[in-house]
Amino acid sequence: MTTFADKIIEFNRSVDFKGELPNGINIMNPFKGNDDVLSISSSFYKKYYNDNHPRHLILGINPGRFGAGVTGIPFTDTKRLTHECGIKYSGKETHEPSSVFVYEVIAAYGGAEKFYYDFYINSISPLGFTISDAQGKEKNYNYYDSAELTKAVFPFMVENIQKQLAFGVERDICFCFGTGKNEKFLRQLNDKMGFFKTIIALEHPRFVMQYKAKSKQQYIEKYINAFSQIK
Specify the higher pLDDT residue, 45 or 69. Answer: 45
Q: DSSP string of 16-85?
A: ---S-PPTT-EEE-TTTT-HHHHHHHHHHHHHH--S---EEEEEESS--TTTHHHHSSTT--HHHHHHTT
The H or E element that residue 157 is part of is helix 147-165
Whole-number pLDDT of residue 161: 97
Query: Contact, 70 vs 30, CB < 8 A?
Result: yes
Return the percentage of the chain with pLDDT > 90, whole number.
86
Average pLDDT of the chain to the nearest whole number = 94
The H or E element that residue 96 is part of is none
Q: Write down the domain spans for the chain.
A: 4-230
pLDDT band at 229 (very low <50, low <70, confident <90, very high): very high
Residues 219, 229: Cα–Cα separation, whole Å: 16
Topology given in CATH for the domain delimited by 4-230: Uracil-DNA Glycosylase, subunit E (3.40.470)
Q: Is 168 helix (H, G, I), strand (E, B) or coil?
A: coil
Give the helix ranges, DSSP H, for 169-215.
181-193, 205-211
Query: Contact, 158 vs 150, CB < 8 A?
Result: no
Residue 166 has pLDDT above 90, yes or no: yes
Residues 36, 59: Cα–Cα separation, whole Å: 24
**Half-sphere exposure of residue 146: CA atoms within 13 angstroms, side-chain side:** 13
Residues 86, 78: Cα–Cα separation, whole Å: 10
Residue 117 has pLDDT above 80, yes or no: yes
Instruction: Encode pLDDT of 178-190 as tens digits.
Output: 999 999 999 999 9
Whole-number pLDDT of residue 35: 76
Residue 10 has pLDDT above 80, yes or no: yes
